[in-house]
Structure 1
Amino acid sequence: MKFELKGKDTGSKARAGKITTDHGVIETPIFMPVGTVASVKGVHQTELKEDINPDIILGNTYHLYLRPQTNILKKAGGLHKFMNWDRNILTDSGGYQVYSLSARRKIKEEGVKFKSHIDGSYHTFTPENVMEIQRAIGADIIMAFDECTPYPCDYHYAKRSMHMTHRWLDRCMTHLKKTPELYGYSQTLFPIVQGSTYKDLRMESAEYIANAGAEGNAIGGLSVGEPAEEMYAMTEVVTNILPEDKPRYLMGVGTPINILENIALGVDMFDCVMPTRNGRNGMLFTAHGTINIKNKKWEDDFSPLDEEGTSFVDTMYSKAYVRHLFSVNEMLGRQIASIHNLAFYLWLVREARKHILAGDFTPWKDKMVKQMDKRL
């Protein structure tokens, strides 16, 4: 993997970059649609590629390990071929899903034993087998195995967990060198900064991760319920330490406003289920605020779904029609909303890139934050 900085904002730490892998170019800042189980929920690959048009999507190690299982993915030739996606894929390590299964798992130094949410069967993730699983999945960018701590989190627990995450990283890197790539293209490992919302721990973790010398770095544990101000403060602490010449990925974040504020702090890559999850519940993000399309006020509004939107759905369908689809529980409504939101997120990060390169990102960002912080 190769990363090049193409420009910096003068009023913030925002950067425009270019990541090149064997599956093509990723222009940053970038938002990665979440394709948890080898599918971005409710979106055809044709719509994903030709309309939403992301350079990279995200898959989930935990879910893909359970279904369809790695033996199926190996037979298919990896996740790219299995789901017919010829662009970049990133897989998370399963650490966040293990965190979310707090009542179904036990964490030890060796790894994590957990019960499947599907059938209750027991499984174990270790740094070593998570590397093997991600080799089998075949993503271009793979994540080190970590523990994602909850919020709020006791300081001493956060410290113990962070040090264990660092030891797990060492094991991941050692084992990955022994584990061959399976599909004829390279895979890049990103380690993950942890430390909850404690400044000294975040600084220590960021130093450790920076010294690991990986080709990119991630920031974890900041989409678990903490106030946005805490997220921004911890992100700034970390980006002040992580090397400038490597891409920075903030995991699981967030709202459109969160994304712009974190771009201003020097983050390059984002993912979140919010565009599709909120879309399925009738929330549409736009440049002028959020729309609850289920509201009665849209019942006879025959204007386009989003006159400024970039997706075909924005001008093909009216607000009244999409509201009707939700009111009769027609799946098409949820699909339209998901496509709209994903297209909006991709438009937002690409517009941010344009303004970074033009040198006026900060005033544009401030204007957009005010506009988007409204209920329409």
Structure 2
Amino acid sequence: MYSLVTKESLDRETVSHYDISITATDCGEPPLSTFKKFNIQVSDVNDNFPEFSHNPLELYLTENNAAGASMFSVSAFDKDCNENAAVSYQILRGGAGRNVIASFVNIHPEGGQITALKSFDFETMKTFQFQVVASDSGTPSLSNNVTVNVFILDQNDNAPVILYPLSSNGSAQGVEEIPRNVNAGHLVTKVRAYDADIGYNGWLLFSLQEVTDHSLFALDRYTGQIRTLRSFTETDEAEHKLLILVKDNGNVSLSATATVIVKLVEPKEAFAASDVKSAAKDVEDSNVIFYLIISLGAVSVLFLISIIVLIAMQCSKSTDYTSKYLPETNYDGTLCHSIQYRSGEKRYMLVGPRMSIGSTIVPGSHANTLVLPDRRRPSEQVRP
């Protein structure tokens, strides 16, 4: 009896089958032999995870897509076979802050086609990401994740918006007054506009569509500045209408128009208008200065009050040394006479009733003697 055994582990994904020929030979003379062939198939076990070609995956999607339309497909490959290689897909919707984004898309569980559940707007959302889980059907099931980064591409879906001139009723129209004696190159006004798109879709160009006199005004196509081409003469009209066209550079160009009314006034009138504006500005500046002076005065008053309160508190803290003494039997309560003297580091005060010229101090008597703390500095000398 002989056995055919393996020398190492078998890997079906490396070698799926083996053709083996076994020969049996006896020891006779001459030796006789026979052989038998075996075809060995290596059975599969679920030992491989599904794999994506790239991780993360990047998707570029043009905005204003149709809701429910397929965006793209994902595919994962499993090296196993049969049920162990049958892959199903789902979108990972767990985790904080991921449910809202994942709700925008859906995926086919078998084919991996991803569809958008809403129409995306580049001006609202420029990019988002979600995760797709690929799981096989083996036991136990093995799975792998891939991150999908979706980049929304801009379309030229926004027309230019005129920021100036803009009148109160919402129409893009403004009135500019300039002196009649201005020279060539004088800046009349500047048309300002904005486009919510980006790139070429948001690149704006200005053009002068209508004007009463082409020899008077010029428009910069990139900045929107309107300047005079020459000086005005007496024969030039007092009012000129300019129609400005603002358009973007999208494949399908969108545009907006603005109207500028230029009125020529005499220099005196222009100066008067300028004076009115300057007066209004001066009034505004004077109001600011007035409030500033009031603020500084209030701060100064508060500072002076604080200083006065601080000085009063310091004065109230001065030490009051009150004389206390033991009354004698013959003392009438009137402090009429006191004598001070110094002994060592202390000063003494002898108090008592009025004494006659012939009265004497009895040495050693402390009945009416106060011991006062010496508040002078040690360096000071006691004056007699």
* TM-score normalised by L of structure 2: 0.17
Structure showing greater relative contact order (alpha-carbon pairs closer than 8 Å, 6 or more residues apart) = 1
- Structure with the higher helix share, 1 or 2: 1
